[in-house]
Structure 1
Amino acid sequence: MAIVDFPELKALLIRDGRLMALDVGSKTIGIATSDALRMLATPLTTIRRSKLAADLGTLADLAKKHEIKALAIGLPLNMDGTEGPRCQSIRQFAANIAAHAPPALASLPVVLQDERMSTAAVTRGMIDDYDMSRAKRAERVDAAAAAWILESALARLR
């Protein structure tokens, strides 16, 4: 399915069902899911990027396993709200989902969620709240950033 805006996504979604968020980076993809009532966002995993077909296959397997109804993909806007080169890369990744992903993923509506400062906020929280080492932060920051993106998307859907 194509990229939709939040009012359109809200109209497409049935009452219950999980959403999945992606924090797409050049080397990894952080993944988070919501609960079925769309109240909580939980970091799920981080996958290492490889070939597009393999990445989309992994995401499709996760979408099917967790019965995902829609995707929220983080859009890294500049601080002034404009789009830079990374935004174009994310838009292309979203288009690739619609065009090349297995049906379990390609059929899902996709919404782009502003992710400004998501990784910085999550990293700061990991340091301040949990006194987490750099190595442990590196393992968890992408999935946690995806949860932050998903929390923002869930708030907009309410």
Structure 2
Amino acid sequence: MHLASAARQSYRHGVTVLTLQELAEQTPRDTPWLGLDLGEKTIGVAASDALRMIASPMELIRKTKFTDDANRVLKLMDSRGATGLVIGLPLNMDGTEGPRAQSCRAFARNLQRIREVPVTFQDERLSTTAVERFLIDELDLTRKRRAEVVDRTAAAWILQGALDRLRG
């Protein structure tokens, strides 16, 4: 399923998913958003500025239990005054969804059971690869240091991609 049709069929997956434009229209102006890179063991978190121009890496959450992870995300939203979430959706190269994308949808669905949060998905194909290449080529970080920053930097990459798309 392609991303555009995925947004239109959001109720079928049990979660209200907004398009990027709808997220912008339904969240108060001058409020930041959070970006999430949902991995198997960690959640990379990034935040935008209030004008939604720049995304910055914020935190790495080491996954434990879903409720604890979700509450940490919600606390970060509250502490930043964030009004929306941009979650990376790991599509296959042909644009279809696989098990990892379904896992991201399940996270959003379960999070909305705790609190109604405006959510959109951002295609994250190759985001981690692009971030790792940047960290190696531009910053010359060691493997250990890259491991510490890659997921939250990937979250910033995902969020920045959404912010850039929104501005056209």
TM range (shorter): over 0.9
Question: Offset of 1:57 from its aligned partner?
Answer: 1.1
Residue of structure 2 in register with 1:25 after alignment = 39
Question: Quick check: 1:152 aligned with 2:166?
Answer: no
Among 128, 132, 137, the alignment partner of 1:128 is 137
> Which residue identity lines up with residue 44 of structure 1 in the other structure?
M
SS in 1 for 2:57: strand
Deviation, 1:10, is: 2.2
**How many residue pairs were aligned?**
153
Give 5+ residue unaligned stretches, structure 1.
101-105
User: What residue number does 2:110 align with?
Assistant: 96
Match of 1:34 among 31, 41, 48: 48
Q: Could you give the per-residue CA deviations for residues 45-104 of structure 1, whole angstroms, max 9, x where no partner exists?
A: 10100001100111111110000010000000011111111111111111011013xxxx
Percent identity (aligned): 50
Give 1:9's aligned residue.
Answer: 23
Structure number having the greater strand percentage: 1
**C-alpha displacement of 1:157:** 1.9
Classify the secondary structure of the residue corresponding to 1:149: helix
4+ residue stretches of structure 1 with deviation over 4 A? Answer: none
- Note the aligned Cα RMSD (angstroms): 1.1
CA distance in 2, matches of 1:37, 1:6: 15
Match of residue 52 from structure 1: 66
Matches of 2:109 and 2:28, distance apart in 1: 24
CA distance in 2, matches of 1:31, 1:12: 22
Q: Which runs of 5+ in 2 are unaligned?
A: 1-14
Counterparts of 1:135 and 1:37, CA distance in 2? 34
**Equivalent residue for 1:138?**
147
TM-score by length of structure 2 reads 0.88
